Structure 1
Amino acid sequence: MQDLSARYPVWLCDIWGVVHNGVAHFPKAVEALRRHRGNGGLVVLLTNAPRSAAKVAGHLAHLGVTNEHYDLIVTSGDVTHELMKPYDGHRIYYLGPERDLGVLDDLKIVKSSPDEAEVILCVGLVHDDTETPQDYAELLARMARRRLPMICANPDKVVRRGNKLIYCAGALAELYASMGGEVTMAGKPYRPIYELARARVEERRGTTPDTHILAIGDGPETDIKGAADYGLDVVLITAGGISEEGADPAELEAEIRKIVPGARIIRTLPDLNWA
């Protein structure tokens, strides 16, 4: 990544699978981020985590990733908060673990039953270590029959926690959409999170052309597609994220280019490494 630092002063870097695996940080990755900042670069951690930037920062600190390694954090939770503002004072069905309720901070929203709610806020599976989306099929079908709109706080379908793949809110949203449900996505690969990131960057650095921004990530349907749709070059990371362990990087890149025809992959690396 060293030779890309001057060419792309602003890095929009995914977190889970690139900087850490949910259990521990990747030493080479955090060193690369630190070196980029020392080289005059700006590091924005761009994540589909369905919680505020402040809460993500707290979790990162627990994993050994500190403000020495990044300048800004922009989360799907931040975007979700904006999308939920029109429902302030309304009844919602909250689908997800209690730990992510902070996404509704400062909003006077009433948690309600599936039969009384006006909207679904989906942040994930309640017990993501043991459940699958099919455990929610009956509940989702019930709400789809009521034509409840869903706001999905995390478009990721799966992430790797340690050595285990776990389902995320995006998998529930996909199932709901297949039932005819209306879904609005808050995070990558959709534009709102990139627009928020750009606004935060330009508050720091002023007008910043696309050619000075580099996306970094491991998710084909989130990081790679989001960068392509927003017009950004991207570095694909293969070893720490959702890819199968031992996958050949060249073969993986070729496969992703089939999935995302407009992929703007400029480099494929096993890990985020300065040199």
Structure 2
Amino acid sequence: MNRIIESLGEISQNYDALFCDLWGCLHDGRRAFPEAVEALRAFRADGGTVVLLTNAPRPRASVETQIARFGIPEDCWDTIATSGDSARAAMFRGAVGARVWFMGQSFDEPFFSPMKMIADPVPVERVALEEAEGIVCTGPFDPLQPPEALLPQLRAAQARGLPLLNANPDLMVDRGEVREWCGGAVAALYAQIGGTVLSFGKPHPPVYALARERLGEIGRDMAQDRILAVGDGIVTDIAGAAQDGIDSLFVTGGLAAAETRTGRQPDPEALRGFLDEQGAAPEYSIGKLR
């Protein structure tokens, strides 16, 4: 049974750690949400640990720099786990070969930075599509253009049997008031035309293993039933939490704001219909993280 709550504080005593999504929960791609920042601060003040678990296709150091620019202070989180780091580890272990074609934007190029944790990494080289052994996708070249614009390149890659490493399973995000396409939409299209896709962010298991590894690094190993996932993505955050066996708090005022008729809080009937349609069963829902 899904319970609509007014604030994180109503349930925080039941959990020792949060796996908290970033985009749509803590910021809108431009600036932090003050109420969400304060909610995480309060959780930590009561002894909780916050892992920022994000499908950002970049190293965690890059994400840390970005969120500071958005106004998210260091005192509201403890550590960061990114789909980018999970995917980078696979790439440097040879998941898509040594010669790769990169699909993404210039600001995602830190994806190719060395990883100290990988012993004897594959020497990855970026090449043209016709020379590649695989594809590394952090997102479409133009996030405002539908993924179908990439069909000529994707069909050429599929014909050669190239695997596509997807560093961001999100289908879309809202940057302020503008909706942008993400790597997950490209990967879904590639799979639809028969291509092989390797995905490493939410809802897929590797990034949850990385989040637990990050907890271990700071000496905060947690029991499964003491971790709460927080997110606005029904097919990423909420589905991933269910697959991982942890409770979840669905932030309805993000990607599903229209479907759940969210003002300050979701409309209960609209929320129930949306969850039934999606086959999702988060333990809790809230309009915005606060």
Q: TM-score, normalised by structure 2?
A: 0.89
1:101 aligns with: 109
CA distance in 2, matches of 1:152, 1:223: 16
Q: % of aligned pairs identical?
A: 38
CA distance in 1, matches of 2:224, 2:272: 23
Instruction: Spell out, residue by residue over 1:213-251, the C-alpha distance to the aligned partner (whole angstroms, 9 max, x if none).
Output: 000000011001000000111001011345328714222
Kindly provide the amino acid, as one letter, of the partner of residue 61 in structure 1. Answer: A
Q: Cα RMSD (Å) of the superposition?
A: 1.7
Q: Please list the CA deviations of residues 103-162 of structure 1 after superposition, one character each: whole Å capped at 9, or x if unmatched.
A: 11126321111111001001001121x321011011101100111001000000000110
Q: Aligned pair 1:134/2:148, yes or no?
A: yes
| Structure 2 unmatched ranges of 5 or more | 1-7, 115-120
Counterpart AA for 1:142: A
Stretch deviating more after TM superposition (87-96 or 112-121): 87-96
Which region of structure 1 is more displaced relative to structure 2, 244-253 or 222-231? 244-253
What's the secondary structure of 1:215's corresponding residue?
Answer: strand
Distance 2:68 2:164 in 1: 32
Q: Write the distance in 2 (CA, Å) between the matches of 1:254 and 1:268.
A: 13
- In the superposition, the TM-score normalised over structure 1's length comes to 0.93
Note the C-alpha offset of 1:12: 0.5
Kept in 2, the 8 Å contact 1:50–1:77? The answer is yes
Residue 40 of structure 1: aligned partner: 47
Alignment correspondent of 1:174: 188
Structure 2 residue 289 is matched with structure 1 residue 272: yes
Conservation of the 8 A alpha-carbon contact between 2:260 and 2:274: no
Q: Residues 58-207 of structure 1 correspond to what in structure 2 (within 5 A)?
A: 58-87=65-94, 90-106=98-114, 108-128=123-143, 130-207=144-221
| Counterpart residue number, 1:21 | 28
Q: Distance in 1 between matches of 2:184 and 2:243?
A: 18
Contact 1:239 1:245 in 2 (8 A): no
Which residue number in structure 1 is paired with residue 4 of structure 2? none
Which SS does the other structure have where 1:255 is aligned? helix
Alpha-carbon spacing, 1:161–1:23, altered in 2? closer, same or farther (3 Å): same
Match of 1:5 in 2: 12
How many equivalent pairs are there? 270
Aligned amino acid, residue 11 of structure 2: L
CA contact (8 A) 1:220 1:260 kept: no
Q: SS of 1:183's equivalent?
A: strand
**Higher mean C-alpha deviation, range 4-13 or range 105-114:** 105-114
Q: What amino acid sits opposite 1:49 in the alignment?
A: A
Q: Which runs of 5+ in 1 are unaligned?
A: none
